[in-house]
Amino acid sequence: MKKLSARIQVLRRAEVGDCIVDVAWNAAGTQVAAAAVHGPLVILAVTNPAEPIHLPGHAGGALALAWTAANVLASGGQDGHVRWWDVSTGALNRAEAAGSPWVGQLAVSATGILASGAGRSVRMWNDKGELLRAWAPRASTVNGMQWHPQQSILAASHYGGISLLLESCPADQDEDRLLPLKGSQLQVVWSPTGAWIATATQDRAVHMWRVMDADDCEMTGFPEKIQGLLWYNRGSHLISVSGTEVLLWDCRGAGPMGRSAVQAADAEVHAHLIQATALEPESRWLATGDSSGKVVIWKLGIKDHLTRSLETWQAAAGISALRWSPDGATLAVGDEHGQLTLLNLVGFDRQ
Amino acid sequence: MNSNKRVPVTVLTGFLGSGKTTLLNRLLTEQHGQKIAVIENEFGEIGIDHHLVIGAEEEIFEMNNGCICCTVRGDLIRILGNLLKRRDRFDRILIETTGMADPGPVAQTFLVDPEIARQTVLDGIITVVDAAHIRQHLDDGSDESRSQIAFADVIILNKIDAVPPDALSAVLDRVRGINAAAVVHQAVRCEVDLQALLDIGGFDLERVLRDRPDFLEAERGFEWLGVFDHDGSHKELQFSPGPDAEIGVALIPLTGTDEPEALATAAFLQRPTPYTAPHLLRPSPAPYEIPVTNAITVPIAAPAGRYVLATQHGPEEFAVDLAAWNMRLEQRFAANHTHDDRVGSVGIERLGAVDGKRFQAWMSSLLQTHGADIYRSKGVLHVAGYPARYVFHGVHMLMDGAAGAPWKPNEERRNMLVFIGRNLDREALHAGFTACLA
């Protein structure tokens, strides 16, 4: 590993007081928001030297963040509400009950529809915060949600499988398809073309479906629950992060069936449990952060199916959230002591 | 993770009306020096000072790990995961279950999920029992109250002022019949020393036995003993096939002020010596295990003197005629494997070193085949070649074990195990464990 730490620069910092549970960038990549486990939110401008904006967030604790417009941040928490904040003034635009006290999931579609997952309830909202539809309760609490990359289909994971919810179907007929799977499903991710859908399960497995025919397969034997599940390079590979291990599954052609996973080179770079993972939007770099506060930037390349660690950075506390800016130039790092740090990566694309 | 110390977790169960809420309110309002994070079974209004109160909606999940009885509380995995990000805000976690809840899924959650297993330790399960109504609940066939009692490390027998003293002892017997290993506090309005509830160490069987040294005594390995004077003449024991394929028999010299019962108890703690005909049965500190698949005659060889003869089952069950032995004293001990509830406890206490591999193999096969019926298992073992105690506890098919305190020089290294469950086969458990001794 080359020692080139000068190429990671700390750009800005902000404090939010307690463990950061979620971080979200606005679409332009000019502002980043962080939510703290005890409830408050903070918004930090990337280049503007102005003081960070502090928002009260959610009584009982914040759980999820999503930007719904250039100036509007939505947040969910343990007060049972989705809240829309005007980040230029710090004002609360709107607050709506989401169907359960635990608003754990928020996701924005390509067309700007916000989906909220609160307990077993899934609701969809327009950009003004008006309710578009409230779906019938799922089998259990929704653990993960992600929109199809191009279409208005929401995948929601829960006990018993993955619900596929089509936002555009007529209001009187819920288009509600279930990919059934025994056990509790945690996070769910679409491949970038929408051809595959993958879920990480409570039983420490990764399950994949080909969406077209629901043909499926499962990868098992992980020592820990899957922390990160990410599609690489237009869906050619699925990256799983579990324990201290980064694995690449070759999903080209017929899928990963019968192929063994490729372990990243420099596999020993994390000595502690990986707690946060983020893939750069262009699939150039992967970031992982562990319980000791170590952040590792990985260079991804499918040549030889190998991945190697490129650079590391040390935070003062365990890493709890990582998010790349839309242009991939800045990494937002949230830690367990409530520090939000923006790291600039200089010259990485020449690697 | 802000600290490497595992957060202790207490589970509070009990029927509606048992006084569980009274106890919860005491834990949240009285001074006991600990900050508690409470996970309640509904969204409540108690936002008390420095405590954290979180509502939960019970979601029971089957794990997909090939273990048929492995159910967990999915909501707890999610809530605990979030709570553990704020672990500097509290000293312990208390989980209140609904009145009708089976404590199994809650307890198994702490063994199944690696993230939670790493950061928390199940300190104990407290069950509040309404002394005035529990017998009726049990007689009505309430599986929930039976399993809540069976799972408990601590039982608060509450509302004892509503029960006449003689009825109370019957209630106590009934509760002990289901769970002999739990510490039982008798109380009115749950007035129990809170400190004793906040540091239970329920998986620590030695600690349970310090509080209740008589617990395993009820598990003495014999049902009958007789004291006789032997003049040196020929004697023999004739056994006919009985309810079991073998019977343990101990012949122990009785001298001075020795208590016959204590001698027999000590003998049955030893590993039995297999007996083969036509060998002579001689006085020994350990019992013989006599196969009785067919009628068998066992000749006795002992110098003249006074002896204790103790048998694992009543002699009449194997048609042993002892009329000619002129017993000076005969004592019968209740067979402890029969009671009116199908849920009960089996304790095992044995000296000797355990073969670690054989024990692992036995436990894993036992839990695979009978795990659905075994609610809880706990033990402290002296494993051969291992300088410290091996302490384990299990819930159904799942087990968690770790090194305990090191053995002191000259300390008696005693293995202690307890199984609490449904339709337990006491003999098979004893025999299975005995076979694990090195």
CB B430 within 8 A of CB B418: no
What pLDDT does residue A306 have? 54
CB B16: neighbour CB atoms within 10 A? 10
Q: Which residue in A152, A156, A192 sits closest to A281, CA to CA?
A: A192
Count Cβ–Cβ pairs < 8 Å, chain A vs chain B: 68
Residues belonging to chain B = 438
Backbone angles phi, psi at B224, to 5 degrees: -145, 145
Q: Residue type at B259? A: E
Q: Cα-Cα-Cα-Cα dihedral of A126, A128, A129, A131, to 10°?
A: -50
Q: Which residue in B254, B237, B253, B239 sits closest to B302, CA to CA?
A: B253
| Nearest Cβ partner for B115 among A100, A184, A225 | A225
What pLDDT does residue B217 have? 54
Mean pLDDT of chain A: 90
**pTM attached to this predicted model:** 0.81
- Last residue within a domain, chosen from B137, B172, B202: B202
Checking if the pLDDT of A279 tops 90, the result is yes
Cα separation, A58 vs A37, in Å, equals: 9
What pLDDT does residue A41 have? 98
Cα separation, A180 vs A159, in Å, equals: 9
| Nearest Cβ partner for B75 among A37, A141, A204 | A141
For residues B194 and B251, membership in a common domain is answered with: no
CATH 2.130.10.10 fits A20-288, yes or no: yes
Q: Is the residue at B212 inside a domain?
A: no
Q: Residue type at A128? A: K
Which residues does chain A have within 8 Å of residue B85's beta carbon, measured at their own beta carbons? 18-19, 21, 37, 320, 336
Place of tokens 């406890």: B345
Residue B328 forms contact with A (CB below 8 Å): no
Q: Which helix (H) or strand (E) holds A210?
A: strand A206-210
Cα separation, B268 vs B220, in Å, equals: 7
Cα separation, B299 vs B292, in Å, equals: 15
Cα separation, A231 vs A206, in Å, equals: 13
Cα separation, B52 vs B1, in Å, equals: 19
| Nearest Cβ partner for A159 among B1, B55, B74 | B74
For residues B316 and B407, membership in a common domain is answered with: no
Q: Is the residue at B407 inside a domain?
A: yes
Cα separation, A134 vs A119, in Å, equals: 13
- Last residue within a domain, chosen from B173, B202, B231: B202
What pLDDT does residue B362 have? 96
| Backbone Cα Rg of chain A | 19
Contact between chains at A201 and B85 (C-beta distance less than 8 A) = no
Model ipTM? Answer: 0.89
Sign (positive/negative) of CA torsion A199, A200, A201, A205?
positive
What pLDDT does residue B2 have? 41
CB B102 within 8 A of CB B183: no
Cα separation, A56 vs A141, in Å, equals: 26
pLDDT band at A349 (very low <50, low <70, confident <90, very high): low
Which residues does chain A have within 8 Å of residue B75's beta carbon, measured at their own beta carbons? 141
Q: Is the residue at B145 inside a domain?
A: yes
Count Cα atoms within 13 angstroms, Cβ side, for A32. 28
For residues B188 and B252, membership in a common domain is answered with: no
| Nearest Cβ partner for A182 among B59, B64, B77 | B64
Q: B384: burial class by Cβ within 10 Å (0-12, 13-18, 19+)?
A: middle
Which residues does chain B have within 8 Å of residue A102's beta carbon, measured at their own beta carbons? 78
For residues B231 and B379, membership in a common domain is answered with: no
Residue B63 forms contact with A (CB below 8 Å): yes
Q: Which residue in B292, B339, B324 sits closest to B311, CA to CA?
A: B292
> Helix-strand-coil percent breakdown of chain A, rounded to 5?
5, 55, 40
What pLDDT does residue B4 have? 61
**Residue B102, both tokens:** 């089976």
**Residue B209, both tokens:** 């036995």
Q: Which helix (H) or strand (E) holds A330?
A: strand A330-335
Residue-wise pLDDT tens digits, A24-66:
999 999 999 999 999 999 999 998 888 899 999 999 899 999 9
Q: Is A243 left (phi over 0), alpha (psi -120 to 50) or beta?
A: left
Domain range enclosing B416: 343-434
Checking if the pLDDT of A14 tops 90, the result is yes
**Residue A325, both tokens:** 């800016």
Q: A194: burial class by Cβ within 10 Å (0-12, 13-18, 19+)?
A: middle
Contact between chains at A38 and B86 (C-beta distance less than 8 A) = yes
Contact between chains at B2 and A182 (C-beta distance less than 8 A) = no
Q: DSSP of B286-328, one letter per residue?
A: S-EEEE-SS-EEEEE---SEEEEEEESS-GGGGT---GGG--S
What are the CA-CA distances from residue B297 to residues A167, B235, B278, B287, B426 (Å)? 84, 10, 8, 16, 26
Q: Is the residue at B338 inside a domain?
A: no
Q: Per-residue confidence of chain B (438 residues) as pLDDT tens digits?
A: 444 689 999 999 998 889 998 999 899 888 888 999 999 876 554 556 667 888 888 888 888 776 767 899 999 999 999 999 998 889 999 999 988 888 999 999 998 899 999 999 999 999 999 999 998 888 888 888 899 999 999 999 999 999 998 889 889 888 988 898 888 999 999 999 998 888 888 777 777 677 665 666 555 678 899 999 999 888 999 999 988 788 999 999 998 888 898 888 888 878 889 998 888 999 998 899 999 999 999 999 999 999 999 998 889 989 999 988 889 999 887 655 444 568 888 888 888 999 999 999 999 999 999 999 999 999 999 999 999 999 998 999 998 888 888 999 888 888 999 999 998 888 899 899 999 998
Checking if the pLDDT of A4 tops 80, the result is no
Residue-wise pLDDT tens digits, A233-270:
888 889 999 999 999 898 888 778 788 888 777 778 89
Cα separation, A57 vs B109, in Å, equals: 31
What pLDDT does residue B82 have? 94
Q: Which helix (H) or strand (E) holds B106?
A: helix B103-112
Average pLDDT over residues A153-161: 96
Q: DSSP of B7-67, one letter per residue?
A: EEEEEEEE-TTSSHHHHHHHHHHS--S--EEEEESS--S---TT-EEEE----EEE-SSS-
The alpha-carbon gap from B118 to the nearest alpha carbon of chain A, in Å, equals 11
Which CATH number belongs to the domain containing residue B374 in this structure? 3.30.1220.10
Which one of B82, B83, B108, B109 makes the best mutation probe of the A interface by having the most chain A beta carbons within 10 Å?
A: B82
Contact between chains at A336 and B57 (C-beta distance less than 8 A) = no
What pLDDT does residue B215 have? 61
The alpha-carbon gap from A180 to the nearest alpha carbon of chain B, in Å, equals 13
Q: Is the residue at B93 inside a domain?
A: yes
**Residue B205, both tokens:** 């069987």
- Sequence-ordered list of residues with C-beta below 8 angstroms from that of A209, at least 6 positions apart, any chain: A162, A179, A196, A197, A198, A215, A216
For residues B82 and B152, membership in a common domain is answered with: yes
- Sequence-ordered list of residues with C-beta below 8 angstroms from that of A344, at least 6 positions apart, any chain: A8, A9, A10, A11, A329, A330
What are the CA-CA distances from residue A216 to residues A160, A255, B35, B129, B351 (Å)? 15, 9, 47, 49, 54
Cα separation, A339 vs A341, in Å, equals: 6
Q: Is the residue at B261 inside a domain?
A: yes
Report the number of distinct structural domains present in chain B.
3
Q: Is the residue at B96 inside a domain?
A: yes
Question: A62-69 and B120-130: which strand pairing?
Answer: unpaired
The residue that leads in pLDDT, B277 or A22, is A22
**Residue B375, both tokens:** 């609610």
For residues B412 and B320, membership in a common domain is answered with: no
Cα separation, A149 vs A189, in Å, equals: 10
CB B177 within 8 A of CB B204: no
Sheet of A196-201, strands arranged across? A144-147, A153-166, A176-190, A196-201, A206-210, A216-219
Contact between chains at A225 and B43 (C-beta distance less than 8 A) = no
- Last residue within a domain, chosen from B305, B332, B359: B332
Give the distance from CA B138 to its chain's centroid. Answer: 20
Average pLDDT over residues A78-102: 95
pLDDT band at A144 (very low <50, low <70, confident <90, very high): very high
What pLDDT does residue B181 have? 85
Which residues does chain A have within 8 Å of residue B113's beta carbon, measured at their own beta carbons? 202, 225
Cis peptide before B114 (omega within 30 of 0): no
Residue B105 forms contact with A (CB below 8 Å): no
CB A259 within 8 A of CB A279: no
| Beta-bridge partner residues of B332 | B224
Secondary structure E strands in B92-136: 92-96, 120-130
DSSP A98: -
Which CATH number belongs to the domain containing residue B170 in this structure? 3.40.50.300
Q: Is the residue at B208 inside a domain?
A: no
